[in-house]
Structure 1
């Protein structure tokens, strides 16, 4: 398994840790940043039941690790993810209703594990991203796509619908864009993905690594507890009506974080003009 290149950074000091227990992924941890890489380039990183299980386990484990400050979701090969594996889809064609529901629930649980992961997750989209692959990306917190990448919600071409990925994709691109792309199954560019808000940044292929590294450096230097709480804050506040109860909730959250260990340490380090303890 190839190791990622060592680089100096503001969060250096941890050795690379490569985990070799996966069939369809590679997982490395280096300098407090984990990289989960889809590793089935021969099928354009299409996922099957093994990939679903391994992604869920990897993100669950990494979310619990104190030495991990951020996670990059990447892929090997020319495509990021082509969606569901054809051989897996052939198997599903013979499933009973109960088996289909169980299978779909596993996929839904995996996406939720990524979405709810307490660590910030950055999707590094180096190539085409179709169908279920868009669900993987939409479950991440930050999306950087190479400008040559194409996107497509192709399910209706096969008589299907993008159901399990829909909660995340609709949040990411908005209802209006989803109305179009869920129904037309049109392929669209990285620039269109950026325009509708699905991608946060687009990059040239030569600059993709550095774009992602810059975002990861920012994430890894922030308070781990505050980052985790900020993720929850966005999920809980988005789309809510501003009521007295919501205002009280927001006030309670800032009061709680101010009195937390990292909250006190962050303010103290700022006033004392020193690095906070989580950078040591």
Structure 2
């Protein structure tokens, strides 16, 4: 199957779905498409609420594309690569519609940032999370503001330091990343549909205003996340990281 990003509208709910055959890893092209689609959905007057989901039934998002990561050879391309998740997170933040995250499986690295950026997130019991960046010589710099905002600095640092450890869905719920955890994808989908349908009947101006309240104090993220991308863009060129990435070639 080929990578894709799609937008389907049903009953005034915009369902944005991304997919990549490599465990829903996110190469630059998919990130650009996802950013564009979120912006388009936010501007579509037919859509009252958005659901962000991924294809497949095992992994929500495996983070950045390692195939692209190992090919980075200079600071410019490194910064551009890590800016992909920064731009998507900012698109979610600035979108005038509430965005519900639907997480059916494991979430790694940058994917945790996407989940944390959604306004309300529901998951299955299989949706464990991991921040693996330190183990390859970089760090979750770009997504840190979104993740820390949702689960706090203590939990963020715990995940970052234990970079090779998956934390279970219930742990993520206790920390505030997930609002609910369900036994099956079917139960998850039913709950997401019910919530999205209900929200679509609410006053859209009220929804827009409350989202602005949710995101108060984050206007500096336009520059902050790109500055963080430069940090990762430099670290990925280090001898240490290059040696660690050889295993992925």
Name structure 2 gaps, 5 residues minimum: 219-249
CA distance in 2, matches of 1:175, 1:198: 13
What are the residue-to-residue correspondences of 1:1-280 with 2, within 5 Å? 23-40=3-20, 42-77=21-56, 78-92=58-72, 94=73, 96-185=74-163, 186-205=165-184, 206-236=186-216
Structure 1: runs of 5+ lacking an equivalent: 2-21, 239-280
Higher relative contact order (CA 8 A, sep 6+): 2
Give the alignment's Cα RMSD to 1 decimal. 1.7
Secondary structure, counterpart of 2:102 in structure 1: strand
- Length, aligned pairs only: 215
TM-score (normalised: structure 2): 0.82
**Shift, 1:70, TM fit:** 0.8
Displacement after TM superposition at 1:27 (Å): 1.6
CA contact (8 A) 1:25 1:54 kept: yes
The answer as to whether partners of 2:85 and 2:110 remain within 8 angstroms in 1 is no
- Name the CA distance, whole Å, in 2 between partners of 1:196 and 1:65: 33
Q: In 2, Cα distance between the equivalents of 1:120 and 1:235?
A: 11
Partner of 1:144, secondary structure, is: strand
Normalising by structure 1, we get a TM-score of: 0.73
CA shift, 1:25, in A, is 1.4
Alpha-carbon offset, residue 26 of structure 1: 2.2
